[in-house]
Structure 1
Amino acid sequence: MKAAYFEETGPPEVIQYGDLPTPEPGEGQVLVKVGAAALNPIDTYIRNGANYWELPKPFVTGSDLAGTIEAVGHGTKKFMVGQRVWGTNQGLVGRQGTFAEYAVVDEHWLYATPDNVTDEAAAACALTGVTAHIGLGADNARLKPGETIFVHGGSGGVGSMVVQMAKAIGATVLTTAGSDEKAELCKELGADHIFNYKTQNVAEELLAICPGGVNVIWETVREPDFDFLVSIAAERCRMVLMAGRDARPPFPVGPFYVKECSLHGFVMFKATPEEMAVCGEDISRWLAEGKLKPRIGKEFPLSEAAAAHQLQEDNTLRQAGTLAGKIVVKP
């Protein structure tokens, strides 16, 4: 099979495109013919040498996929050959990734793709959708209908999922964007109030709309400005973080605890199969109902996986501003 893989970590140029043996499903696994895969920042961190866990060699990059089951291993119970599925959590914890014509996946990491949803859409919602769902759920933000949520960066991969899921839950959504184009995208996603952080005083204008502050804050910035966040927080505001592992921003302890705020951090790939299955069922239903519409910023053929990694890295680490939405790679 054709695959995008690397033998040693490093810059995007270490990614090779070539032939690898087609894997065979083992106990409780299925072989998926990949229709589409999606790229996430964590894929670029792993490729660049982030020492989270030991990688097999050669290592196929990619966390997300959607496709059709080609074969099943012994003991599988959930899916059959010919069914369409989507999933995430591959290419993590030492598992092989999804940037290939075929991928072997433990069936408990897969979810049924609705008939009216494309592989591209399902893949583009995978890791980002599960992340948003876990962060908004009972163990973290506990977002309820009628509450207000501020999403810092509503046009990004996870941010766009949070905006749409918050609307599906019944919340009022306030968000930021860095351009008129991205602001329009946030409007299309359902955001109620959008602020251009380059031209507007976000704190001042947000508090004019929500004088008491917002109930939930979802922070996508790697180095959060906690003075700003606390200033727009309501009493007992729940803050969800997506900061980089090396982030060490100053923290206003006094103002934070006086408002009785809480801070929530989580790692998607540490969720159990049972926890992720709840996310998968909701995401599939919302996709089928049209309540969740992924924004695909760029599509690449599998042979150009290195260029896809470069584009993602330019925008994640260098704030190039040349990507709005997810990168999808197609075998």
Structure 2
Amino acid sequence: MKAAFVRKTGAPDVIEYGDLPQPEPGPTQVLIKVGATAINPIDTYVRQGVVSMITNFPYILGCDLAGVVEQCGAAVTRFRVGDRVWGSNQGLFGRQGTFSEYAAVDEKWLYDTPDGESDADAAAGALVGLTAHLGLFLHGNLKPGEVVFVNGGSGGVGSAVIQLAHAAGAAVIATAGSDAGLETCRNLGANLAINYNDPNIDDQIRAFAMPHGGVQMWFETQREPTFDRTVSLMAPRGRIILMAGRAARPEFPVGPFYVKDLRVIGFAMFNASPEEQRTSAEALNALYLRAQWKPQIGATFPLSETAAAHRLQEDNSLHKAGTLRGKIVVIPG
């Protein structure tokens, strides 16, 4: 089968495109003919070796996938040949990834693809949708009527946070860096969209949120959080959700933080149990069927151009190029 893989860690040019043996599914695995996969920042960290997840080479990259079940292991109970499925959490902890024509995946990491959803959309929404849902509900305990702020609302996780928070009855504030990005945020359900370069951004957040007592949930997607301004805009007993900024070491205003009874909650989606992730996946499927969840795709590449797709992801997630809104999808074949 064709695959995008690495024989060593490094820059995007270490990615090779070529033939590898088709995997055989284990007892609890299904073999999937991959229809689409998507790139996430974590994929670039694994490829660079910044996150030590690779246990042996050659190693196939990629967390997300969607496709069709071609074969089931002897102990598989949830799926049958011909089922359309989507999932994430691959390419981590030594598990081979998804950037290939076929992938063997344990059934606990897979979910039915809703009727009418394409493989490209299902793959694009996999990790970012699970991340947003876990952060908002499992960790953040979001309630209807609360004010949610999300940085980077036109990006992968940010666009998911807007949609899921809006569907839950929250009032959503989002930022973007261009008029097109702001329009995307509004179309996804943001009540207030602000250019993050606007010098009056905090005044606008404060004016919107203060009738509610401030921001109840600050969903931070940026790599360099600024806690002084965040804490000043929070409502008493608000929650600050952190899921990025692996190398960040920001200053922290302890006094203003604790006198408001605030909480800081950090999480990584791949720490969630299979049961917790399935709960989020089933909620995403239900929202899709109610037209309240639509993954955003910003660029599409063939599998043979995975290295170029990684460069685009790295330019935007690490170097803030601002040339991407939504997810990068990679199509085998």
Same fold (TM over 0.5): yes
In the alignment, what sits opposite 1:182? 181
Q: Secondary structure at the match of 1:135?
A: helix
Structure 1: 4+ residue segments shifted above 4 A = none
Which residue type is aligned with residue 159 of structure 1?
Answer: G
Matches for 1:28-67 after TM superposition, within 5 Å: 28-67=28-67
User: Is contact 2:46–2:54 with CA below 8 Å preserved after alignment?
Assistant: no
Cross-structure match for 2:256: 255
- In structure 1, give the amino acid aligned to 2:58: P
Output the CA distance in 2 between the equivalents of 1:9 and 1:55: 11
Contact (CA 8 Å) 1:130, 1:276: kept in 2 or not?
yes
Name the counterpart of 2:75. Answer: 75
- State the alpha-carbon separation in 1 of the partners of residues 54 and 60 from structure 2: 13
Amino acid corresponding to residue 261 of structure 1 in structure 2: L
Asked if 1 retains the 8 angstrom alpha-carbon contact of 2:32 and 2:68, the reply is yes
Paired residue secondary structure (2:159): helix
Do 2:3 and 2:19's aligned partners in 1 also have CA atoms closer than 8 Å? yes
Identity percentage of aligned residues: 57
Aligned residues: 330
Residue equivalent to 2:316: 315
**1:84 aligned partner:** 84
Partner of 1:153: 152
Asked if 1:295 is matched to 2:266, the reply is no
In structure 1, list runs of 5 or more residues that go unmatched: none
Supply the distance in 2 between the matched residues of 1:142 and 1:69 (Cα, whole angstroms).
Answer: 35
Contact in 2 for aligned 1:203/1:231 (Cα 8 Å): no
Can you list the C-alpha shifts for 1:188-247, whole angstroms capped at 9, x where unaligned?
111010111112411111111222211111011111010110111001111101232221
Q: Verify the 8 A CA contact 2:86 2:111 in the aligned structure 1.
A: yes
Match of 2:204 in 1: 205
Residue by residue over 1:83-125, the C-alpha shift from the partner in whole angstroms, topping out at 9 and shown as x without a partner, is: 0000000001110000000000000100000111100110011
1:84-103 aligned within 5 A: 84-103=84-103
For 2:295 and 2:76, the matched residues in 1 are separated by 30
Q: Aligned AA for 2:78? A: K
> Does 2:293 align with 1:329?
no
Tell me the TM-score normalised to structure 2 length. Answer: 0.98
State yes or no: 1:7 paired with 2:7: yes
Distance in 2 of aligned mates of 1:154 and 1:51: 26
Contact 2:146 2:171 in 1 (8 A): yes
CA distance in 2, matches of 1:12, 1:296: 21
TM-score calculated relative to the size of structure 1: 0.98
**Range 193-202 or range 225-234, more displaced:** 193-202
Q: Distance between the aligned counterparts of 2:288 and 2:51, measured in 1? A: 35
Question: Is 2:164 the counterpart of 1:165?
Answer: yes
Cα displacement (A) at 1:153: 1.3
**SS of equivalent residue, structure 2 residue 237:** strand
**Deviation sequence 1:154-183 (CA, Å, 0-9, x none):** 111101101100011110101111110100
SS in 1 for 2:241: strand
- Displacement of 1:152 in angstroms is 1.3
Question: Secondary structure of 1:299's partner?
Answer: strand
- C-alpha contact 1:167 1:190 (8 A) present in aligned 2: yes
Structure 1: how far apart are the matches of 2:304 and 2:54? 25
Aligned-CA RMSD value:
0.9
1:27 alignment counterpart: 27
